Amino acid sequence: MSSGKAIIFSAPSGSGKTTIVRHLLQKFPVLGFSISACTRDRRGRTEQDGKDYYFLTPDEFKERIDKDEFIEWEEVYEGNFYGTLKEEIKRIWDNGKHVIFDVDVKGGLNLKKYFGDKGLAIFVQVPSLDDLAIRLRDRGTESEASLSRRIYKAKFEMGFKDKFDVILVNNDLQTSFREAEKLVSDFIKQQEG
């Protein structure tokens, strides 16, 4: 693989990391979005294969694991796999861009370990778990059972925030956008210098 930089955004589900990453992609043409592979069903009618995720069957995912095609992968929930394909990073770097990730906490830590100093790992934190529950309910995509699982997992994931390079508290979205822009800009400049 040729070499570029990696900017890793991680957070519990519903923290706003996807919204921040989408903003940064519009602001910085030099960034390319790493599309994760997963085995979950598409949410609603808007998610597209090859744009939001690479939607694979569990058998396809396991076959790619066996072929060592992932930088990192995990079974997030039973039977529900997510991962980062090596070919996806190569695609972005071959286009002369830096890669930006929107991944869960464990994936973020694994990517930081893989990329080392070429990676900036940012943990997006909500002000409280109550705020997180409200955000997840407002999505309208969660059953009470899945909401409960996500809150439980979020409590666990919050324990890893200090392992990231930066903690970005997403209390006000516009402020978070500005802070994220500065972090990305400074990291790209620092690494180029």
Other Cβ atoms less than 10 A from the Cβ of 20: the count is 25
- Which tens digits make up the pLDDT trace of 76-122? 778 899 999 999 999 999 999 999 999 889 899 999 999 999 999 99
- d(CA 119, CA 13) in angstroms, rounded, equals 21
DSSP SS3 for 182: helix
- Which tens digits make up the pLDDT trace of 4-52? 899 999 998 778 899 999 999 999 999 999 999 999 888 778 888 888 8
Quick one: what percent of the chain has pLDDT higher than 70? 97
Of residues 35, 162, 180, 184, the one with CA closest to residue 109: 162
Determine the pLDDT at residue 96. Answer: 93
Q: 113-130: string of b/e by CB count within 10 Å (b at 16+)?
A: eebeeebbbbbbbbeeee
Determine the pLDDT at residue 2. Answer: 54
Total count of residues recorded for the chain? 193
